[in-house]
Amino acid sequence: MKKNNLTYMESVHRNGRIWGIIVGAVLICFPILLSLIFGISPRMDILLKGVLATAPMYWAVGIVEIFTYVPMLGAGGTYLSFVTGNISNLKLPCAIDAMERAGVKASDEEGEVISTIAIAVSSIVTTLIIVVGVICIVPLTPVLESPILEPAFDMILPALFGGLAVVFISKNLKLSIAPILLMLVLFIFVPALNASTVGIMVPVGVLFTVAVARILYKKGIL
């Protein structure tokens, strides 16, 4: 499929790179503009200490996520997810569920299209929900802070991933045992791991699962 003498995948990579650069520039310019507007800038020695302490981790995660998410989301879905964010707990489940229902894979052009559409729709829906939430936050605050509803809000993500897990575990029972045990051991016996580390642990779990799958395949178990 060609458009303007470009194949679909060529246009995906072209547009993905353009918007990635634009978003990166906007993110970098925002704190610079705030500093210029308010006439305040951080001390460079403190800023560099913070960057040196945190940047290496995000560099590593960023590199790992590229190799992790592209096979699952496709190129278009990955570009769009990296621009809009919130991948592991929103974009990834939406894309996987959409491709599963359509019976396609991210490696196919049809899967590329389905994944990109699913992620785009989830981004639009999220934005609309945020707009409604901002408008209704004051009248809804007493309801949202109700002790009766609090346990339900705490279980939204586990319920979402639990529903997806049932489908994929039932299809790959032998392969699923090792990553499930790994994550259970890590989150039970390493107290530092919590909900904020999900973005890091998803790529770790994927790489571990790929390694286990290769071992099981070599042994003839899969």
Q: HSE on the CB side for 107, CA within 13 Å?
A: 1
**Digitized pLDDT (tens) for each residue of the chain, 222 residues in all:** 555 567 888 888 898 899 889 988 988 898 889 888 888 888 888 888 877 777 766 777 777 778 778 888 888 888 988 888 888 778 888 888 889 888 888 888 888 899 999 999 999 998 998 898 888 888 877 877 778 877 777 777 777 777 777 767 777 788 888 888 888 888 888 777 766 666 667 777 878 888 888 888 888 877
Q: How many Cα atoms are found within 13 Å in the side-chain-facing hemisphere of 134?
A: 5
The pLDDT value recorded for residue 196 is 63
pLDDT of residue 75: 87
Say what the pLDDT of residue 5 is: 66
Confidence (pLDDT) at 133: 83
Alpha-carbon distance of 201 to 187, in angstroms, equals: 10
One-letter identity of residue 166: V
pLDDT the model gives residue 114: 92
**CA dist 61 → 83, 167, 186, 198 (Å):** 16, 27, 18, 11
Residues 6+ apart with CB under 8 A from 111: 74, 99, 102, 104, 105
Q: Please choose, from the candidates 55, 104, 62, the residue with its C-alpha nearest in 3D space to the C-alpha of residue 87.
A: 62
In whole angstroms, give the CA distance from residue 22 to residue 194. 32
Q: What is the pLDDT of residue 138?
A: 81
Longest pairwise C-alpha distance within the chain: 65
Compute the distance between CA of residue 172 and CA of residue 100 in angstroms, rounded to an integer.
14
Distance of alpha carbon 97 from alpha carbon 103, whole angstroms = 10
